[in-house]
Structure 1
Amino acid sequence: MLPKRRFSFDKRHLTSRWFIYGLWLQLVCSDDASNPRLTLQQDDALLYNINYSHTVLFHEQGSNILLVGGLNFVLRVDVENGENETFTLNPKLQPFCDEKSCENVVTVIERFQNSTFVCGTNGENPTCWTLFSEKSNNSTEVKEYGDGTGISPHTCTQNSLCLTADGDLYAAAPLYSDGALLQFRRLAGNRIDLWMHDQWLSEPTFISSFLAKRKDDPMNEKIYVLFLEKNSDTSPEADPWISRVARVCKVDEGGPRQYLQNIWTSFLKARLICGIPRESLYFNRLKDIFVVHAENWTDSRVYALFSSSWNSTAVCIYSLKELDAIFENSVFKGYDGKIPNPRPGTCVKNSNSIPIATLNIIKDYPEMQDWIHPIHKDTPFFMSKTNYTKIAVDKVQASDALVYNVLLLAKDNGMIIKVLENDTKAFIISETRLYSGSSPVQAMKLDSEMSKLFVGYPGQISVLDLQRCQDYNASCADCVLSRDPYCAWTEYGCTAQTKGGIQNIADGNTYVCDRIKDSRPSYGASVHHSVPVEVSFYLSCPVDSHHATYRWIHGNKSTTCQPTQSECLLLIPSMTSDDYGSYECISHERDYTRKMKKYYLLKPKRVTDSAFNLKCTMVTMVTLAFYL
């Protein structure tokens, strides 16, 4: 808990609590749980190099095809052989427009009505197209679909989202070029168009939406919408934004002709909480979500990525069942009357027949009094002082037949981290650089069937192979310590064939390898150095895990290492007779100890050796200065 009694707050430092909490968070996140075990570079990650900044990716599970939205066209990439094809959209631009407003930026790519549905800004005149496959000659015909207002924004900087579900198209985009009338609507498909009441939202920023399928109860299927909303609390310490989740019934057809016609009759919203309630400190700014759907909708989980006022990020996990229970049971904020029947928000076969008393509450009091809390109620599942921007979650079956969730988080510098969800604890397996620059990720698409993550950067599409078991292939211990559920130790090494393999996802201890011979090589031949007396010298040891501790053994003396990103160093300020002899670098991680390196430091036999080694020592000192 924060040591509040040590600090004083006054009105001149209204954000001091956030600042202090940021310092405290740095201490909390300094252990192994908040640092990646390995830092990797995937050199074969480049899928396609492009000369424009795309805005949207589209990919269907198990497909070899990735669609990329560009300027005036859609790029079709075959991820297996690298072949690509471009489809021009032939925009109809306004007769008078400057260079920027004439751009047609693709903002929507979805599967809709048996075709690929594409929408773009079209010079601030949103338009949609369909791409029909011609099976006879394996080509695609592009046809204009029609007006894209409310589906695509007028400019690519405006907020928007799009969802296709069961033959209907749902979208949120401004109706006007100035960004006005940004609402979540049903705009095309099998059911009638619906939109929102103007008073339901205050300056929203839509993040994502999804349909929760109920195979045994399709009548009660809901569309969930997650967004940010302007905070009505204008006190100095209040965050200007709060996170929300709303839901509507899929079968909603709007109200009767005289009341809420073509308006959602099932719209409800609630506040989404992620933080540390005992400190009254919250991550209020929702950035991205990923839904892990289950066969039974009540087992589904919503993984939400948040940022805070003190420049930190967190992941909170929500049970869809518990989330939905708030809408079913909470009182309505600001309403103290009797709740009519049917309860506002209930899905009914004919929404045109809902009583006016029920519709009045939907219209005037759509917010729930109770807040939606994550399954880890006291603290977020994952916290970091690093800024993360995107999230995806994969389900992986390990050798013990248990299914583990692996979170994939994108940093603002383009790195992708892989995080194991182990009960209530997060374990960062690795962080991987796919992109030579340091730009943030623009889009991510996960393919669980192929175990690949498609990542869009400015000017580049990359793919992260989630089964890179070669990164831990040195030994059984190396494979087990990774705690990577994609990989297991077999007779062929560390492989993606986990069935029957050796793993210990629960804690990573290597005793499970005792029944086989560990093939990990020793540190190899000892390295000999002739070092003159009174000369500074350093020894280096490779760091193969950021979770291991390293030390140097010299005689009966044990010395800790000075770590860098990839090496662990021992500096000898001035060689004395006691400094000669053998040095061993030892790493220790969990229950596994390994000899990493062995050196012998010897006195020079001749003057020429001394001069030569003095020169080499000066070089090593320059190198050391570079490291430090």
Structure 2
Amino acid sequence: MWGRLWPLLLSFLTATAVPGPSLRRPSRELDATPRMTIPYEELSGTRHFKGQAQNYSTLLLEEASARLLVGARGALFSLNAQDIGDGTHKEIRWEASPEMQSKCHQKGKNNQTECFNHVRFLQRLNATHLYACGTHAFQPLCAAIDAEAFTLPTSFEEGKEKCPYDPARGFTGLIIGKHALLSTWAPRPQACCLGDMDLIARTCHPCSIMCLMYAEFVFSVLVRESQASAVGDDDKVYYFFTERAAEEGAGSFAQSRSSHRVARVARVCKGDLGGKKILQKKWTSFLKARLICHIPQYETLRSVCSLRADTSAHTHFYAAFTLTTQWSVRGWWEGEGWGQHRDWKRTPRGKPAHPGLCCHSGEDSLRSRGYNSSQDLPSLVLDFVKLHPLMARPVVPARGRPLLLKRSVRYTHLTGTSVSTPAGPTYDLLFLGTADGWIHKAVVLGSGMHIIEETQVFKEPQSVENLVISPMQHSLYVGAPSGIIQLPLSSCSRYRSCYDCILARDPYCGWDPSTHACMVTTTVANRTALIQDIERGNRGCEGSRVTGPPPPLKTRSVLRGDDVLLPCDQPSNLARALWLLNGSMGLSDGQDGYRVGVDGLLVTDTQPEHSGSYGCYAEENGLRTLLASYSLTVRPATPAPAPQAPAMPGAQLAPDVRLLYVLAIAALGGLCLILASSLFYVACLRGGGRGHRRKYSLGRAGRAGGSAVQLQTVSGQCPGEEDDGDDGEGAGGLEGGCLQIIPGEGTPAPPPPPPPPPPTELTNGLVTLPSRLRRMNGNSYVLLRQSNNGVPVGPCSFAEELSRILEKRKHTQLVEHLDESSV
């Protein structure tokens, strides 16, 4: 039997049996750079949903009804998958009671994060009901929910074998067939095996379990592998998890353990009923193998997704560690994985050759040989499974190396879909969420993985906890602590030219020559006319008619010796900026005053030879695209006026120039005469009818609510006024008859000083005027008022007197406590 089956099994084996030198490559050869970076501010076409809950981590998409079901902390939501933010959602509040929260806190759990009901399991149970399980403050509960009414039932089921206690514990679960639940859970230490162990439980059997040592589950999936069975009992369930290493030695089950954790993949048959005498109520087909990506000792399995699980021959698994890789594991369980088990001896022809087979395996049906269920398997097979559940050789990447290595990024979740292109090939498209709220969109190529773009989907950094793809809605749903975001699977309109469209290498995008636009392939009737080059990313746009319009020519003019920046935005992180002068001369950084940067070209200390036409190109993947063009003109700087040379003897001026000089001199002379007359009039202005000349001195006058500086006349009478003997206001209502300088802003005036001394013995009070002036700012103002008191002696010029005062101030000691502010 195995002589015929062996070539068939090897044909499915795409993983390498033993890690070889090709598994490890220098990190610099694997580090991938996203082609485009889209910050949060540039997002377009997004939808948001946020209810009165937190931790939107459980997502279930139902394409037929266009509903997105969400499990969060203390709530479930049913959203419109077409637009999750349209306000038509339904909500179920499912909180843990205060008593349950108090008991949880008394057990030492965190009442801020753990002592709530976190919905961790949400699956379709049948045509009318959903099945949901929550941690319920470390006392798990499950409920069958009416999908149409979207309401909780009146009774609940205990969920300790179906849902984890800890909301942060790794968990995965499946409902397969009619009321058959496959789930992983974290029981109390005494519930099953010794130690704190997670289990794989099948609830249609009371205790049908296979213990796993300290496991942390990540992912599970049903893979359709039945070929000749109507009931599908050859279908397999695959589990991905991490556990403490407990590797087998040669010849017996090893008891040694190492302290580090390793990644595993396990497989069981969907129709496994357990053994009859050996392995009763335990899996007879359970096998597990180690997963290795790049650095086995330091890898931690973060997330797994499967593509094309409905056809086993083409099923691929993608996993994110610190790295991302791909496995095809179907043939591993029947082939090379057993290579190092020395205890295994081939049985005579007609009996199963090794453990792990389901009871209906391909052409050589075991049922035809009398093995109708797992309970009919021989003791030799069951004994070996009991002692050796771990495959001898690890499963390594299908290509012998990781698909992607990305530094400074921690991936938290990934999902993928297969996209068929207009030309025929189908490509795997992956979306990877990071711990700080970014999504990396990548396509798997024959040469490796190409990251099309990285998108910041949350303004505040937070972990991406779940990702779900809807090809029907052309949407990606992102679950995070703060809410749900709906993004389009592609943003083809970002690519403005044919080159930009094909360089993106997005399977969803193609250049339409008829509309000169990059279109989503699923929206175009004539898909075959679209231009794509996913594998190479540089062919198809050779004709200038499809490259799009050239950028507009911009002009720049600068004085000689100045600097000028010619901006050029490079949208692609993979492109190299190339600057050409006059279409041929390439410019490099540091050459002749040129500085090439990410923002453009900086020309320093411009000279006439810098004038010309500048073109900014993006060189990427062998293509050159014009992004910006400039015309730069360097003008000579305006020279400083040179000193006039003495006129040569005999030099003659033109008649019109002589006339202009004569008129200018006459006008200036007349203006000087007018100014001199005005100054003479002001200086010698007579006072009143008595003809006394005035001489002013500086003094201080107080007034209520403020302070002022007054200019007193020595003569005691103002010009044009008659001595009416009034001690009050003079003519015109001038208070006290003095010229007062009143600040608009000031402090209450100090007590009035003694009368000012004669002008021959001026005091330090003269500096009060500058002091008050320093305090005037903002909306301050000055009011001048003239006094009627004084003696008319001395010169009449106020300017002369003020000059004497200021001159004397230079030799006078400053008064104390002056204001230190200045204007």
Query: TM-score band (shorter)?
Result: 0.7 to 0.9
Residues 390, 159 of structure 1: alpha-carbon distance in 2 compared, 3 angstrom cutoff: closer
Q: Which residue of 2 aligns with 1:156?
A: 167
Choose 110-119 or 81-90, whichever is displaced more: 81-90
Equivalent of residue 535 in structure 2, options 481, 491, 506: 506
SS at match of 2:615: strand
Separation of aligned partners in 2, 1:205 and 1:22 = 27
Indicate the residue corresponding to 1:287 in structure 2: 302
Q: Please point out which of 35, 53, 75 is paired with 2:33.
A: 35
CA contact (8 A) 2:417 2:429 kept: yes
SS at match of 2:209: coil
CA distance in 1, matches of 2:569, 2:190: 56
Q: Shift of residue 338 of structure 1? A: 5.8
Gaps of 5+ in 2: 1-22, 106-110, 248-253, 360-371, 590-594, 640-823
Q: Following TM superposition, by how much is the alpha carbon of 1:78 offset from its aligned partner in structure 2, in angstroms?
A: 1.1
1:317 to 318, 322, 326: 326
1:496 to 496, 502, 520: 520
1:247 counterpart residue number: 267
Whether 1:96 and 2:103 are equivalent positions in the alignment is: yes
* Structure 2 partner of 1:4: none
Kindly, what percent of the aligned residue pairs are identical?
Answer: 24
In the alignment, is the contact (CA less than 8 A) between 1:269 and 1:367 conserved in 2?
Answer: yes
Q: Equivalent residue for 1:221?
A: 235
The equivalent residue for 1:584 is 615
Q: Measured at CA, do residues 244 and 262 of structure 1 come closer, stay the same or move farther in structure 2, by a change above 3 Å?
A: same
2:545 aligned with 1:517: yes
Give the equivalent residue in structure 2 for 1:478.
500
Q: Report what 2:12 is aligned to.
A: none
1:389 is aligned to 412
Does the Cα contact within 8 Å between 1:130 and 1:142 map onto a contact in 2? yes
Task: Measure the CA separation in 2 of the matches of 1:321 and 1:260.
Answer: 24
Q: Which amino acid aligns with 1:549?
A: R
Do the aligned residues in 2 keep the contact of 1:488 with 1:496 (CA within 8 Å)? yes
By percentage of residues, which structure has more strand? 1
- Residue 126 (structure 1) shift: 0.3
State the SS of the aligned residue for 2:220.
strand
CA contact (8 A) 2:340 2:392 kept: yes
- Equivalent in the alignment of 2:56: 54
Q: 2:139 aligns with which of 121, 125, 132?
A: 125
> How many residues are matched?
556
**How far apart, in 1, do the equivalents of 2:569 and 2:59 lie?**
39
CA deviation vs aligned residue, 1:225-258 (integer Å, no higher than 9, x gap): 1111212489xxx8812111111111111222x5
User: Which residues of 2 match residues 401-480 of structure 1 at below 5 A?
Assistant: 401-472=424-495, 474-480=496-502
For residue 396 of structure 1, report the CA deviation from its aligned partner: 0.8
- Following TM superposition, by how much is the alpha carbon of 1:63 offset from its aligned partner in structure 2, in angstroms? 4.3
Measure the CA separation in 2 of the matches of 1:158 and 1:178: 18
**Residue 197 (structure 1) shift:** 4.3
Out of 593, 601, 604, the position equivalent to 1:570 is 601
- Alpha-carbon distance, 1:295 to partner: 5.0
**Distance in 2 separating the partners of 1:449 and 1:325:** 37
Structure 1 contact 289–305 (Cα < 8 Å) conserved: yes
What is the identity, as a one-letter code, of the residue corresponding to 2:630?
A: Y
Letter in 1 for 2:261: W
Equivalent in the alignment of 2:316 = 301
**How far does residue 108 in structure 1 lie from its aligned partner after superposition?**
1.0
The equivalent of 1:272 in structure 2 is 291
1:110 aligned to which of 123, 131, 156: 123
How far off its partner does 1:604 sit? 5.4
Determine helix, strand or coil for the equivalent of 2:494.
helix
Give distance in 2, aligned partners of 1:334 and 1:245: 22
Can you list the C-alpha shifts for 1:349-369, whole angstroms capped at 9, x where unaligned? Answer: 322333333222111211111
Q: Aligned-pair RMSD on alpha carbons? A: 3.1
Measured in 1, the distance between the counterparts of 2:132 and 2:65 equals 18
Q: TM-score, normalised by structure 1?
A: 0.81
Residue 131 (structure 1) shift = 1.1
Matches within 5 A, 1:187-226: 187-188=202-203, 191-198=204-211, 201-216=212-227, 217=229, 218-226=232-240
What is the deviation of 1:440? 2.1
In structure 2, what is the Cα distance between the partners aligned to 1:269 and 1:22?
24
* Rounded Cα–Cα distance in structure 1 between residues aligned with 2:430 and 2:64: 20
SS of 2:306's equivalent? strand
CA contact (8 A) 2:559 2:636 kept: no
Q: Specify the SS of the correspondent of 1:154.
A: coil
Asked if the contact 2:95–2:116 (Cα under 8 Å) also holds between the matched residues in 1, the reply is no
Q: Distance in 1 between matches of 2:635 and 2:437?
A: 49
* 1:345 to 1:139, Cα distance in 2 relative to 1, 3 A: closer
Residues 223, 311 of structure 2: 8 Å contact kept? no
Deviations 1:528-567 (A, max 9, x none): 242451x444322011222222122235642247777xx4
The answer as to whether partners of 2:556 and 2:630 remain within 8 angstroms in 1 is: yes
Amino acid in structure 2 at the alignment position of 1:219: D
Q: Distance in 2 between matches of 1:403 and 1:22?
A: 28
Q: Which runs of structure 2 are paired with 1:59-74 in the superposition (5 Å)?
A: 59-61=61-63, 63-74=65-76
Secondary structure at 2:381's aligned position in 1? helix
Code of the aligned partner of 1:300: T
Following the alignment from structure 1 to structure 2, what is the Cα–Cα distance between the partners of residues 96 and 413? 34
Residue 600 (structure 1) shift? 3.4
Structure of greater relative contact order (alpha carbons < 8 Å, 6+ residues apart): 1
In 2, the alpha carbon distance for the partners of 1:548 and 1:513 equals 17
Conserved 8 A contact 2:553-2:631: no
1:436-476 CA-to-partner distances (Å, cap 9, x unmatched) read: 1222201111223333211112212112211321111x222
TM-score, normalised via structure 2 length: 0.63
Identify the residue that residue 558 of structure 1 maps to in structure 2: 586
Q: CA deviation at 1:518?
A: 2.3
1:506 deviates by 2.2
Q: Distance in 2 between matches of 1:78 and 1:177?
A: 42
Matching residue's letter, 1:509: N
How far apart, in 2, do the equivalents of 1:97 and 1:296 lie? 45
Q: Which residue of 2 aligns with 1:45?
A: 46
Secondary structure at the counterpart of residue 381 of structure 1: coil
Question: Is residue 547 of structure 1 aligned with residue 556 of structure 2?
Answer: no
Distance 2:275 2:226 in 1: 26
Deviation of the 1:477 alpha carbon: 2.4
Instruction: Tell me, yes or no, if the aligned pair for 2:81 and 2:473 is still in contact at 8 Å.
Output: no
Q: Counterpart of 2:688?
A: none
The residue that corresponds to 2:788 in the other structure is none
Comparing 425-434 with 317-326, greater Cα deviation is found at 317-326
Bigger Rg over Cα: 2
- Alignment partners' CA distance in 1, 2:566 and 2:285: 69
Distance 1:169 1:295, change over 3 A: closer
Structure 1: state its 5+ residue gaps: 1-20, 308-312, 609-628
Q: Separation in 2 of the partners of 1:161 and 1:437? A: 28
1:373-429, CA deviations, whole angstroms, 9 ceiling, x for partnerless residues?
A: 22202x212222232222212111111022111121223322212212122422222
1:483 CA drift (Å):
1.4
